[in-house]
Structure 1
Amino acid sequence: MVGFAARKGQNEQLGLFDRELEHLPPELRWREWMGRVEAVIFAASTPVTRSVLAGVVGKSCNIELIIDDIRAELAGRPYELVSVAGGWQHRTKKVFGDAIQAAFGQQGREGEKELTQSEALVLMGIAYFQPITRGELSSFFGKEVSRDLIGVLRSQDLIASGPRSPQPGAPYTYVTTKAFLSHFGFDTLRDLPEFEALEDAGLLSKERLLAGDIPAGLAGGEGDDEDNGAKVDG
């Protein structure tokens, strides 16, 4: 039994992925690490975290410097390496947006659709005040936020159920997801624009919100079962 365990350990060592690359001179080692990091990010369909990248480079490798060098090499390319949703991802530069739209029309990424004004407003409310219940959203906007509208945001993986609220009935709260960060190009929620910036851009008016001047599309769903915990999606 001991001999088998020893042989198994030797085999694992022989097949161990070489992260350190100590046999290479420093410059070639750095280039290999750059290639590995970019390959992993390129192959991934979602942002790649630092911990994942650390698994393919040596302990002495500074991943942030690797990222900087990759970005420098991509300076003249139509795509770039961006920090988003707590990781890194290749994305086409915004300046080429018109060319992409001309090629593919209004088609978005698979499974996504353009949000309506009502959906965008509710998503904004969740993003800024999470965790928040549907009842609290309805009170904030002055009109009922329907379960159907919440369902649309959930189906796009932009929001998810949060912890139950301490309110009577322990309704579920809602929070944004990593997909939300990725969709809007945020690294963390700290990247959300200030309210003043949204007002300047004409996307938000505190006075209108407080006055309940919200599109009628917010209302029209079924009862309050979801808020009192009787039914929860997914």
Structure 2
Amino acid sequence: MARRSAVALLHEPSREPSRDEAEIPSAALRLAEALLFGAPAPLSAAALAARLPPGSDVEALMAELARFYAPRGIGLVRVAGAYAFRTAPDLAPALRGEAPEPRKLSRAALETLAIVAYHQPVTRAEIEEIRGVSTSKGSLDLLLETGWVRLRGRRRTPGRPVTYGTTPAFLDHFGLDAVADLPGLDELKGLGLIEGRLPAGFRVPQPSDDPALRADEDPLPEADDAGPA
């Protein structure tokens, strides 16, 4: 008999499982599904493993759930290296108006956010150098308030300027697993976000949040109240 979806079996009336079906970790699958539904934020593989029966293959369970929910109104996605249920993208028009409209960012704030995302860790002076204009304190404060940008640390250079980076909330909002998933130059062109003739040597940096990037900065203490610098 062909092996059937483990999740489909969970929703059928109780019956004596066949030998093949008995091998399916239905208890672990049901618990993983419940944990994800009840979680207020995406759950990492480690967080799931800590709550699931010993020996559970988290990656296999997530793959099974993803297959089951793929054609449904919600789906399992990876965001910021963790797992969460999200509504299907094609249903977005029907769901508009159900949630409050998010605060719109100014052009200056959007440019600042893009620079932080692609160049992190980056200082305010570096943001201004890339934009070619001064960056108002309000733009950075707004991005910190949204929770998409955070103070990372202090650069080991004269003046010890604060460095900025993105947060898991930024990845979650934009549906990214990691900052490396941000679109490159060709993708940006294809989306119509970059038009016209580009200057010679123009490139879009490869965004990364690799731990090695923190080698030239010191982490901020929890109670650091220096604010943007």
**What's the TM-score once normalised by structure 1's chain length?**
0.72
Residue number among 122, 125, 133 corresponding to 1:132 in the alignment: 122
Q: How many residues of Structure 1 are paired with residues of Structure 2 in the alignment? A: 187
Residue number among 19, 38, 41 corresponding to 1:43 in the alignment: 38
Note if 1:162 corresponds to 2:152.
yes
In the TM superposition, what whole-angstrom CA distance separates every residue of 1:129-156 from its partner, at most 9, and x where no partner exists? 1010111100111001111000000000
Kindly indicate whether the alpha-carbon contact (under 8 Å) linking 1:82 and 1:88 is maintained by their aligned counterparts in 2: yes
Kindly indicate whether the alpha-carbon contact (under 8 Å) linking 1:138 and 1:145 is maintained by their aligned counterparts in 2: yes
**Partner residue of 2:184?**
194
Higher helix share: 1
**Partner residue of 1:17?**
none
In the TM superposition, what whole-angstrom CA distance separates every residue of 1:81-139 from its partner, at most 9, and x where no partner exists? 001111001100110010011x437x23xxx4232332222111101110101111001
Deviation of the 1:198 alpha carbon: 1.4
Which ranges of structure 1 fall in alignment gaps of 5 or more residues?
1-23, 212-228
Distance in 2 between residues matched to 1:100 and 1:116, nearest whole Å: 25
Kindly indicate whether the alpha-carbon contact (under 8 Å) linking 1:126 and 1:174 is maintained by their aligned counterparts in 2: yes
Distance in 2 between residues matched to 1:91 and 1:145, nearest whole Å: 35
Kindly indicate whether the alpha-carbon contact (under 8 Å) linking 1:42 and 1:90 is maintained by their aligned counterparts in 2: yes
SS in 2 for 1:114: coil
In the TM superposition, what whole-angstrom CA distance separates every residue of 1:158-181 from its partner, at most 9, and x where no partner exists? 010112123321110101011111
SS in 1 for 2:157: coil
Deviation of the 1:28 alpha carbon: 7.4
Q: Based on CA coordinates, which of the two structures has the bigger radius of gyration? A: 1
Change (3 A) 1:204 1:117: farther
Distance in 1 between residues matched to 2:80 and 2:189, nearest whole Å: 25
Query: Counterparts of 1:177-216 in structure 2 under 5 Å?
Result: 177-204=167-194, 207=198
RMSD: 2.7
**Partner residue of 2:11?**
none
Kindly indicate whether the alpha-carbon contact (under 8 Å) linking 1:85 and 1:186 is maintained by their aligned counterparts in 2: yes
**Partner residue of 1:149?**
139
Which ranges of structure 2 fall in alignment gaps of 5 or more residues?
1-16, 203-223
